[in-house]
């Protein structure tokens, strides 16, 4: 698994040349692809999240989310396009979104969860995420 930061300074809280920062993690068969874009105020996660060590992966992702949302530009859109995920990944994703909502209670965050038509388990996870965060999750079929 590799972390590929794009346009980041030594301290990710300090933008390089203006206020545009992006961060990407390349996915593989077990770990999801992640994309954070400060300019578009976007957080996307896609692919598979069936990691055995979700604590390491998601605790680092949480640190990046906090850093990206510490300035004036904050995440407004969350797109979840996971094809498979284990229970531990689901718990971490819920935790991260709770933190995001907690840090920005006055902000409106649009959470979109994309599933395929035959993906009943992921649709149930999206519903559970909505119940656990108390935040509306748009469940969209691709």
Give the phi and the psi of residue 45 in degrees, each rounded to 5.
Answer: -135, 130
Dihedral of the alpha carbons of 105, 132, 35, 45, in degrees to the nearest 10: -160
Please report the pLDDT score of residue 12 as a whole number. 36
The helix (run of H) or strand (run of E) holding residue 102 is helix 87-103
For residues 96 and 67, give the distance between their C-alpha atoms in angstroms, rounded to a whole number. 13
Q: How far is Cα 83 from Cα 1, in angstroms, rounded to an integer?
A: 18
Q: At 28, list the tokens.
A: 């593989």
Amino acid 49: pLDDT: 96
Q: What is the pLDDT of residue 20?
A: 56
> How much is the pLDDT for 2?
40
pLDDT, block means (10 residues), the chain with 142 residues: 38 37 90 92 95 94 88 88 95 94 84 88 91 91 84
pTM above 0.85, yes or no: no
Res 10: pLDDT: 35
How far apart CA 105 and CA 87 sit, in angstroms, is: 27
Topology given in CATH for the domain delimited by 2-141: Transcription Regulator spoIIAA (3.30.750)
């Amino acid at each position: 698994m590799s972390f590929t930061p794009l346009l980041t300074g030594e301290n990710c809280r300090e933008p390089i040349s203006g206020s545009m920062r992006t961060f990407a993690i390349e996915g593989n068969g077990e770990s999801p692809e992640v994309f954070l874009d400060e300019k578009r105020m976007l957080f996307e996660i896609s692919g598979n999240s069936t990691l055995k060590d979700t604590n390491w992966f998601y605790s680092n992702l949480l640190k990046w989310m906090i850093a990206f949302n510490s300035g004036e530009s904050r995440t407004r859109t969350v797109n979840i396009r996971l094809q498979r995920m284990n229970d531990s990944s689901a718990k971490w994703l819920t935790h991260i979104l709770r933190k995001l909502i907690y840090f920005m209670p006055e902000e409106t965050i649009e959470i979109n969860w994309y599933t395929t038509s035959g993906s009943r388990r992921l649709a149930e996870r999206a519903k559970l995420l909505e119940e656990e965060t108390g935040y509306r999750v748009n469940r969209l079929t691709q």
